[in-house]
Amino acid sequence: MILIKKHIPLFICFLVGVLTLGSYYVPNVHSENYLEMMNKWENIVAGFAFLLGLMSLFTSHFHKISRRAPGWGYSLFVYAGFLLVVVPAVVSNGQPMAGPAMTSLGWIYRFVFTSLSGTMFAVLAFYIVSTAYRAFRIKSPQAFVLFAAAFIVILGRVPLGQMMWDGLLGWTGYQVTDVIEWLMSVPVVAGRRGIMIGIAIGGIVTALKIIFGIERQYMGKD
């Protein structure tokens, strides 16, 4: 049992990991074919896994409805929404357009799905404002530095801010655009690169831990 649950999966993980890593250095056509084959397998597995996901979605909402759990009414919309898209998709043969005319699937996609997605994305703007308000509360010297930098960058992007800068700090000889450019290309880039280097090193080490079987949490431990 331990052979099937532990050793074989670890060996497969090691083999696939080493081959994939090696294919970066081996430019041969066999290497390309291997990567293409792995992509195909991933798509096939994802296809079957999607069925599992769909079953999980329906089962969890079915339980909510049958138990009359709080908010069970929302679960009805899952089934209604599913039918609302799948039935027109079957009727339209999966095509959003029939010649120049829009099919029912195309109509739903354009006027329901895209609009709803756009609405969710638009909500982001309001959240950015509330987050910015929270970020700009000056509680420490570091927060003041953040506030000052953000204040210059935000104000300097609009004509009013440029007028204010010219009126108050024009005597320094520096334009507000120069200061913004320096902020964005020196301290911001330095901070970002520091984080990116840390992420890259962490990613490499985690990948090695997985390839060599030291990290096994993802397969349910021993």
Partner 1 sequence: MTNNKLTFLFLAAAIAAAGTGTADAAEKKAALPPLTGFTAADMPGDAGGAALLRWNSPGEAAEGAVIEVHASDPAKPGWVKIKEFPAAGNLEKDMDMPFWAWRPVPGRHAVTADTTSSFGRPAAAQELEFKLRLVKGGSSVETEPVKASIGGNWFNASRLNNLVLMLTIIIVFFWTVSHAKRKGLFIRRIAGLDAIDEAIGRATEMGRPIFYSTGIGPMSLVPTIASTSILGEVARKVAQYDTSLKVPHFDPIVMTVCKEVVKQSYLEMERPDSYRDDINFFVSQDQFSYAASVDAMIHREKPAACFFIGHFMAESLLLAEVGATTGAIQIAGTEQESQLPFFFTSCDYTLIGEELYAAGAYLSKEPMLTSTLKVQDFGKAFVMLAVVAGAILIAAGAMFDLDSLSKVVTQLFKAY
* Residues contributing to the site for partner 1 (CB under 8 A): 21, 24-32, 42, 45-46, 49-54, 56-57, 59-60, 63, 70-71, 74, 116-117, 120-121, 123-124, 127-128, 130-132, 134-135, 192, 194-199, 201-210, 212, 214-215, 217-221
Residue 117 C-beta: closest distance to partner 1, Å: 5
Residues near 213 by Cβ (< 8 Å), separated by ≥ 6?
10, 13, 14
Q: Identify the three-state secondary structure at position 73.
A: helix
- Nearer to partner 1 (CB atom), residue 169 or residue 201: 201
| Least CB distance to partner 1 at residue 132 (A) | 8
Q: Residue 94 or residue 118: which is nearer to partner 1 going by CB?
A: 118
Q: Which residue has the tokens 């994305």?
A: 121
Quote the least distance from Cβ 45 to partner 1, whole Å: 7
Q: Are strands 97-98 and 101-102 parallel, antiparallel or unpaired?
A: antiparallel
- 98 versus 189: smaller Cβ distance to partner 1: 189
Nearest CB to partner 1, comparing residues 11 and 62: 62
Least Cβ distance, residue 105 to partner 1 (angstroms): 15
Tell me how far, at minimum, the Cβ of 63 lies from partner 1, in Å: 7
- Residue 28 is encoded by which pair of tokens? 């041969």
User: Which CB, 42 or 178, lies closer to partner 1?
Assistant: 42
Q: What is the dihedral of CA 73, 77, 79, 81, to 10 degrees?
A: 180
Residue 31 tokens, joined: 């290497």
CB of 169 vs partner 1, minimal distance in Å: 27
Q: How far apart are CA 59 and CA 42, in angstroms?
A: 25
Question: Which CB sits closer to partner 1, 94 or 202?
Answer: 202
User: Do 111 and 84 form a contact (C-beta atoms < 8 A)?
Assistant: no
Alpha-helical segments (H) within 68-158: 72-91, 104-108, 114-135, 141-156
Q: Are 114 and 102 in contact (CB under 8 A)?
A: no
